[in-house]
């Protein structure tokens, strides 16, 4: 290789190609080139006479040079000592082979290379040319010592053949005779039958019986043999090397116990199949995860040898259930996985899963013991049901197959489960909401709003219901229905309930200190059933009252009707403790559950809040007012105060007053308001006896 810049002569009659070539070469990261351009063959020959050139890039189709090999021959006859790389627009394999045979160092097709390939080709051309020059020099020496050459060849451990220009064998050493399975004397004058491309290595298969077939690496160089042009073919036996490679590949990609594909091969095929699904959206596929049920019990009772025997049996059973084009793999332990290609419908995958479950359930005797086998199967489609697009990566696909499989186990084992993208998306939203809610509690993003409770006889405020809100940084103000279900499924409900209780008590006591609570009876706080069942709730209620200084009779705790039905003894005990503290107790949303008025006397209650649904139904069907009347009358007989929820119109308010309902709450009077606005309402001390009618559409209640 030249130590400095490589002097390059380009012979091409297309200026655009020359310019593009210059751009490629100038971008090479390591090599530097001095490029000289000739637009015709004659101009190129002139340049070669005047300047030193390291390598020539030649287009075979020039106006003054003819077309194809004649162009190369004319140039090659004048510069055999300079490497020539053919760079042409014609992609012709036979032409390329002929050019290489006649002395070209390489053959490149325009548009099929980049700067790295071109630079590497030029470098190799120079190196090969230097090698060729050295070989020619050595050939001269070899001609002077023909005896020594023959002796050297004969003793070479590689098979050596000398062939004439037509590929006819002129000489074969002992190693070649052994490799080819013929005496050397019988091979002479036979045609070798393999194309000879000098200075290139190719792999050839030496024919024979299947058990005797061999592989060899063939390298060919030109030389002079007995004064004539010939070829030296070197044959190196690589049969054992190939067998070792196959063995290594089997070890790398095959499960040694079951001889199924292992995890590495499964992942590679899954990656390829998913890539194809990305290219062809109409070709989704299915993936199955199979985990044997109770396999650990087999290992623990019968031993690992029995466990291995069972795994082999299962692998055979699974193979009977799939097609040849499907991929079955053992991922490790008792986990198997299947890629079902070109199966677009989940129903087809389900039928295969049912077939697998049926096969696994067949009686099997393991070391003299009857063995009952079952498996849990997770199924996932490569196409997301929501986005109608393929999974972005195999990791996500495998994760969801695993999720489906564990759901099958949770549902009782020996069954399949199909991954539900919609349910997972909902679960992810709830998961994210839970994380955000934890942050909101820690960063005090929760706040209390207060909705007035009005005495219907006077129209004056007689209490407030404390309602939690979340000042979400992105979604704005959220009502409890948007986040409390998540809180109730986690430990957050206890922390939120405790904070609401303390904040409501502190606010009411502050109104006391401001002289604003004369007309107020209670502040109502909602309590979840989960919190009510916890013994710590009573203690925390005491602490909230003590820290705020609020008298217990000002605190009304609201429980929903369904809580009474869940654990009556536990609920009654908790309610009695709270009543003993002096707190007021109320049933919220009465009428939405399945309890009856006759059962209410069993609970230490003070107030019953009629659910807004009764007022909505009464507005459509007048006979529902009789139900409201019955609730009010029986509640009065039981000594309970009645609060009607969801009052939205003057007509509803008037009718409730006629029915002797004592209190009401709804948008007719006020929406839930901030503590500042609630304070303003108390200071105004206005009456709602003649309220302004508010819109009744699109109302959202806490």
* 476-509 pLDDT per residue, tens: 999 998 888 888 888 888 899 999 999 999 999 9
Query: What is the model's pLDDT at position 623?
Result: 79
| Residue bearing the bigger pLDDT, 163 or 467 | 467
Residues in the chain: 702
State the Cα–Cα distance between residues 453 and 665, nearest whole angstrom: 5
**Cβ count near 23 (within 10 Å):** 10
Predicted local confidence at residue 701, as pLDDT: 37
Buried b (16+ CB within 10 A) or exposed e, 76-113: beebeebbbbbbbeeeeeebbeebbeebbbbbbebeeb
User: Hey, which residues does 261 pair with through a beta bridge?
Assistant: 254, 329
Does residue 105 surpass a pLDDT of 80?
A: yes
Which tens digit of pLDDT belongs to each residue from 511-526?
999 998 888 899 999 9
Q: Which of 613, 620, 617, 623 is nearest to 588 (CA)?
A: 613
**CATH 3.20.20.450 intervals, the chain:** 434-678
Bridge partners for 220 per DSSP? 233
pLDDT of 541 > 80? The answer is yes
Neighbour count for residue 560 (Cβ, 10 Å):
20
Beta bridge partners, 216, equal 204, 237
Cα→Cα distances 700→291, 461, 479, 482, 663, Å: 47, 21, 9, 11, 21
pLDDT bucket at 691, cuts 50 / 70 / 90? very low
Residue 410 predicted with pLDDT over 90:
no
Q: What percent of the chain has pLDDT over 70?
A: 92
Which structure tokens are listed for 350?
């389900």
Phi, psi for residue 84 in degrees, rounded to 5: -120, 125
Count other Cβ atoms within 10 Å, centred on residue 18. 19
pLDDT at 512: 92
Q: Which two tokens stand for residue 235?
A: 């044959």
Residue whose tokens read 């209490």: 463
> What band does 595 get if pLDDT is binned at 50, 70 and 90?
low
Distance of alpha carbon 339 from alpha carbon 360, whole angstroms? 19
What is the predicted pLDDT for the residue at 328?
96
Instruction: Give 6-139's CATH code, choosing from 3.90.550.10, 3.40.50.2300, 3.40.50.720, 1.20.1740.10.
Output: 3.40.50.2300
- Per residue in 187-223, pLDDT tens? 888 888 788 888 877 877 776 545 567 788 888 888 8
Any idea which fold 434-678 has? TIM Barrel (3.20.20)
Which tens digit of pLDDT belongs to each residue from 348-367? 999 999 999 999 988 888 88
Assign domain 254-419 to its CATH superfamily.
Answer: Reverse transcriptase/Diguanylate cyclase domain (3.30.70.270)
DSSP for 505-562 reads: HHHHHHHHHTT--TT--EEEEE--HHHHTSHHHHHHHHHHHHHHT--GGGEEEEEEHH
Summarize the confidence of residues 609-614 as an average pLDDT. 88
> pLDDT band for position 234 (50/70/90)?
confident
Topology, domain 147-242: Beta-Lactamase (3.30.450)
Q: Write the burial class of residue 426 (CB in 10 Å: 0-12 exposed, 13-18 middle, 19+ buried).
A: exposed
Mean pLDDT of 289-313: 91
pLDDT, mean of residues 627-641:
88
- pLDDT above 80 for 23: yes
Are 689 and 697 within 8 A, CB to CB? no
Mean pLDDT score of the chain, rounded to an integer?
86
Where does the chain hold its CATH 3.30.450.20 domain(s)?
Answer: 147-242
Q: What is the mean pLDDT of residues 624-634?
A: 87
End-to-end CA, the chain: 84
Confidence of residue 675 (pLDDT cuts 50, 70, 90): very high
CA atoms within 13 A on the CB side of 520: 31
How many other C-beta atoms can be found within 10 angstroms of the C-beta atom of residue 656?
24
pLDDT of residue 370: 83
Q: Which ranges in the chain are annotated with CATH 3.40.50.2300?
A: 6-139
| Confidence (pLDDT) at 698 | 35
Tens digits of per-residue pLDDT, 31-61? Answer: 888 889 989 888 888 898 888 888 999 888 8
Neighbour count for residue 432 (Cβ, 10 Å)? 11
And the tokens for 396? 């996500």
Segment 527-538 shows an average pLDDT of 84
Delimiting residues of CATH 3.30.70.270 domain(s) in the chain = 254-419
User: Cα–Cα distance between 238 and 275 in angstroms, integer?
Assistant: 35
CB 594 within 8 A of CB 622: no
Q: What is the pLDDT of residues 261-284, one digit of tens each?
A: 999 999 999 999 999 999 888 788
pLDDT at 699 over 50: no
Q: How far apart are CA 558 and CA 578, in angstroms?
A: 12
What is the model's pLDDT at position 175?
84
Tens digits of residue pLDDT in 333-351: 999 999 999 888 899 999 9
pTM: 0.51
pLDDT the model gives residue 697? 36
**pLDDT number for residue 692:** 39
């Amino acid at each position: 290789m030249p130590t400095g810049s490589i002097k390059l002569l380009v012979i091409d009659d297309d200026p655009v190609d020359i310019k593009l070539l210059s751009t490629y070469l100038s971008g090479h990261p390591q090599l530097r080139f001095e490029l000289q351009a000739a637009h015709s063959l004659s101009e190129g020959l002139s340049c070669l006479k005047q300047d030193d050139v390291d390598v020539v890039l030649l287009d075979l189709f020039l106006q003054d040079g003819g077309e194809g090999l004649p162009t190369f021959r004319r140039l090659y006859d004048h510069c055999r000592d300079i490497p020539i790389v053919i760079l042409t627009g014609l992609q012709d394999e036979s032409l390329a082979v002929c050019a290489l045979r006649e002395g070209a160092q390489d053959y490149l097709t325009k548009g099929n290379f980049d700067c790295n390939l071109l630079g590497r080709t030029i470098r190799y051309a120079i190196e090969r040319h230097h090698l060729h020059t050295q070989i020619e020099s050595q050939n001269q020496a070899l001609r002077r010592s023909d005896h020594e050459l023959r002796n050297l060849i004969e003793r070479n451990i590689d098979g050596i053949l000398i062939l004439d220009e037509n590929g006819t064998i002129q000489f074969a050493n002992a190693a070649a005779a052994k490799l080819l399975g013929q005496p050397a004397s019988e091979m002479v004058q036979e045609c070798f039958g393999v194309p000879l491309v000098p200075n290139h290595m190719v792999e050839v298969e030496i024919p024979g019986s299947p058990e005797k077939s061999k592989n060899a690496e063939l390298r060919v160089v030109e030389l002079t043999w007995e004064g004539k042009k010939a070829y030296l073919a070197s044959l190196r036996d690589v049969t054992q090397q190939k067998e070792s490679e196959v063995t290594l590949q089997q070890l790398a990609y095959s499960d040694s116990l079951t001889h199924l594909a292992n995890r590495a091969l499964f992942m590679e095929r899954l990656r390829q199949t998913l890539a194809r699904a990305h290219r062809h959206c109409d070709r989704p596929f299915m993936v199955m995860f199979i985990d044997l049920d109770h396999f650990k019990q087999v290992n623990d009772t019968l031993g690992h040898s029995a466990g291995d025997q069972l795994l082999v049996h299962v692998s055979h059973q699974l193979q009977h259930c799939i097609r040849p084009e499907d991929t079955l793999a053992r991922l490790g332990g008792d986990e198997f996985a299947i890629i079902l290609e070109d199966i677009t419908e989940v129903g087809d995958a389900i039928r295969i899963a049912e077939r697998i479950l049926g096969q696994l359930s067949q009686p099997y005797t393991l070391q003299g013991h009857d063995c009952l086998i079952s498996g849990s199967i997770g199924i996932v489609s490569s196409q997301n049901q929501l986005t109608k697009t393929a999974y972005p990566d195999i990791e996500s696909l495998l994760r969801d197959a695993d999720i489906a499989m564990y759901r099958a186990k949770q549902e009782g084992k020996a069954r399949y489960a199909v991954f539900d993208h919609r349910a997972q998306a909902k679960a992810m939203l709830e998961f994210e909401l839970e994380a955000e809610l934890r942050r909101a509690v820690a960063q005090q993003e929760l706040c209390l709003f207060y909705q007035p409770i009005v005495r219907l006889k006077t129209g004056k405020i007689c209490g407030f219901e404390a309602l939690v809100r979340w000042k979400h940084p992105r979604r704005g103000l959220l009502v409890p229905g948007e986040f409390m279900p998540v809180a109730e499924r986690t430990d957050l409900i206890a922390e939120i309930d405790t904070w609401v209780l303390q904040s409501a008590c502190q606010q009411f006591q502050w109104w006391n200190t401001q002289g604003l609570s004369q007309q107020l009876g209670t502040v109502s706080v909602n309590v979840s059933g989960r919190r009510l069942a916890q013994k710590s709730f009573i203690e925390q209620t005491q602490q909230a009252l003590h820290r705020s200084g609020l008298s217990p009779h000002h605190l009304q705790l609201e429980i929903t009707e369904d809580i009474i039905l869940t654990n009556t003894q536990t609920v009654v005990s908790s309610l009695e403790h709270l009543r003993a503290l002096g707190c007021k107790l109320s049933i919220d949303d009465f009428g939405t559950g399945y309890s009856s008025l006759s059962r209410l006397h069993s609970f230490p209650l003070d107030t019953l809040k009629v659910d807004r649904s009764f007022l909505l139904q009464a507005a459509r069907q007048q006979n529902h007012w009789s139900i409201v009347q019955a609730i009010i009358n029986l509640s009065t007989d039981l000594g309970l105060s009645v609060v009607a929820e969801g009052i939205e119109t003057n007509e509803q308010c008037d009718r409730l007053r006629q029915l002797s309902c004592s209190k009401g709450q709804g948008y007719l009077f006020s929406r839930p308001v901030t503590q500042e606005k609630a304070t303003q309402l108390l200071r105004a001390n206005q009456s709602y006896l003649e309220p302004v009618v508010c819109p009744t559409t699109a109302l959202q209640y806490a």
